[in-house]
Structure 1
């Protein structure tokens, strides 16, 4: 019996979808800055949210301080080294380098945007901190970029679990900055989007560098995780819009506790929604890129499915 031919080579999915996602995400960062930093009503909504963040903050501010204290330059360096090592161990040099570039690029981009590109005027005459630009949040960027880097290099079997657990962790970091009044909701949203944009660019780079390979599983479904995360993202953003509508005419100078609480709940909903939607989209793009699992890779030979070895993960 003759040896069956190897599976035909096939290009990976194109780079159009990750590049489009990265472009849209970058546009959203600018729109968030424009709407909540340069517009009077945007500053009002965030001032109301900041007032609401004080309600009950004393119950968890110590834990928030402990969580935020873990963020440091050595932590960023450790994340870079970790994603590189995982990529090398798995034989995925391109993915490891792309992950490291995404982690470093997201953190550098946040600092450039915050201190060199975006500015803020005190449109509410509140003085002090209200005239200081804090968008995007550096602490949230570190957490979100770490998750993006891990998703790019972990084995496919661990991606869904990593995404779900990591999304919860990123939301915790973002919420901690709100609880401690270090950042406004828009700062956290922009930080997550910056990290996701670099993740989408990394997916495009991986597809471009590894565009020729063994047969891909076109029937593969990314599973429930990405669908649920994107659905949660839509729900979170919808709730945030509803909260903004309710408190639209609020005034930070005489707002009651309920108005502040609703505005704050809207900011938290937006945080959860953007994080879940952004990471769910990244998971979907990565699942569309992964190779055909070994047990399902087949070559049709005379009506008989013959399994073929696949390269190491």
Structure 2
């Protein structure tokens, strides 16, 4: 076997090739699962009349939040804030990676953000169209699948998992996930996109990040992280994220069942239930995406140098190295 860091297999508690192969397989499965869920969301909410009716009802139910759109038209401050926070997040991501001298993971994280956003734009413009199956008004047909803003926000969020220290990964990704969820809320409330667009963007980014990590594992740019208990500061961030996932998905599904399949025009109370269910489902999916990536990257760290390794000497080898083929007779002092 190749020579190199002697501690590698000892920390991994398995053969180095097995560790890289296991991580590569895990991330490939994660990417495939995200793509399949993306196809299910697109088929169920975009390509069916029932899904389109529900999303039309969601859009109709955002009337009480119409002031966001009015503010945007009046002076563009909400839009500028949203765009500036995206830029600051990417700048912070690059800064952290450069300061830690994790150049290749940083390039990979920024590459995921750029590639995911470009792919989202291509998909919504040329591939994943939203046909009008229910004769909806023109203003309800705006927005493409998946959302470009949400794609960029989620790619920055998940990108921090590649550049921050392992012990701070939960804090960084958890805080950014809450920020990305808030940005998604604004996107939906302002009428730019529908719930399916946000959910699809989250799944698209998850697939891209998992594929990138699988490539890093193939290039031996990953290594085992120390196994230690999560500190209290991590729990203070991840606990609200977990609660947000449970509350968002649970309450969203409950409200969805009460407002699904109702044609327009509907009672304002039903439309509001649909809008709230869309917000909750989108928020729950975004937070769940961040938690899922953290789970997939558990005990996995990133390095800029390809990890080399050598065989750990067995007990018999150690004895041969110490004693050789012949036993050593110890001198005995005669008194």
The normalised TM-score by structure 2 is 0.74
Cα distance in 1 between the residues matched to 2:25 and 2:96:
27
Cα distance in 2 between the residues matched to 1:167 and 1:32:
21
Indicate the SS of the match to 1:217: coil
Is 2:304 aligned against 1:290?
no
Question: For the structure 1 residues 56 and 116, does the alpha-carbon distance in structure 2 shift closer, same or farther, using more than 3 Å as the test?
Answer: closer
270, 274, 278: which one pairs with 2:285? 274
Cα distance in 1 between the residues matched to 2:230 and 2:171:
16
Cross-structure match for 1:309: none
Cross-structure match for 1:139: 149
Deviations 1:7-52 (A, max 9, x none): 3535345212222111111111121111111100001100111111
Cross-structure match for 1:29: 38
Q: How do 1:1-313 and structure 2 match up within 5 A? A: 6-9=6-9, 10=12, 11=16, 12=19, 13-58=22-67, 62=71, 66-70=77-81, 83-131=93-141, 134-210=144-220, 216-218=225-227, 224=235, 229-230=241-242, 232-253=244-265, 255-290=266-301
Question: For the structure 1 residues 127 and 14, does the alpha-carbon distance in structure 2 shift closer, same or farther, using more than 3 Å as the test?
Answer: same
Cα distance in 2 between the residues matched to 1:116 and 1:271:
24
Question: For the structure 1 residues 166 and 85, does the alpha-carbon distance in structure 2 shift closer, same or farther, using more than 3 Å as the test?
Answer: closer
Instruction: Give aligned pairs, total.
Output: 286
Deviations 1:118-154 (A, max 9, x none): 1122112124244456111111112111212223212
Deviations 1:187-220 (A, max 9, x none): 111112212222222222333333675x643566
Deviations 1:254-307 (A, max 9, x none): x1111011101111111111111101111223332038xxxxxxxxxxxxxxxx
| Runs of at least 5 residues in structure 2 that lack an aligned partner in the other structure | 303-335
**CA RMSD, aligned part only?**
3.2
| Runs of at least 5 residues in structure 1 that lack an aligned partner in the other structure | 292-313
Compute the displacement of 1:235 (Å). 3.8
Question: For the structure 1 residues 165 and 63, does the alpha-carbon distance in structure 2 shift closer, same or farther, using more than 3 Å as the test?
Answer: farther
Cα distance in 1 between the residues matched to 2:298 and 2:104:
16
| Matched-pair contact (CA < 8 Å) for 2:69–2:191 | no
The structure carrying a bigger helix percent of its residues is 2
Cα distance in 1 between the residues matched to 2:43 and 2:93:
34
Indicate the SS of the match to 2:300: coil
Question: For the structure 1 residues 219 and 15, does the alpha-carbon distance in structure 2 shift closer, same or farther, using more than 3 Å as the test?
Answer: farther
Question: For the structure 1 residues 53 and 175, does the alpha-carbon distance in structure 2 shift closer, same or farther, using more than 3 Å as the test?
Answer: same
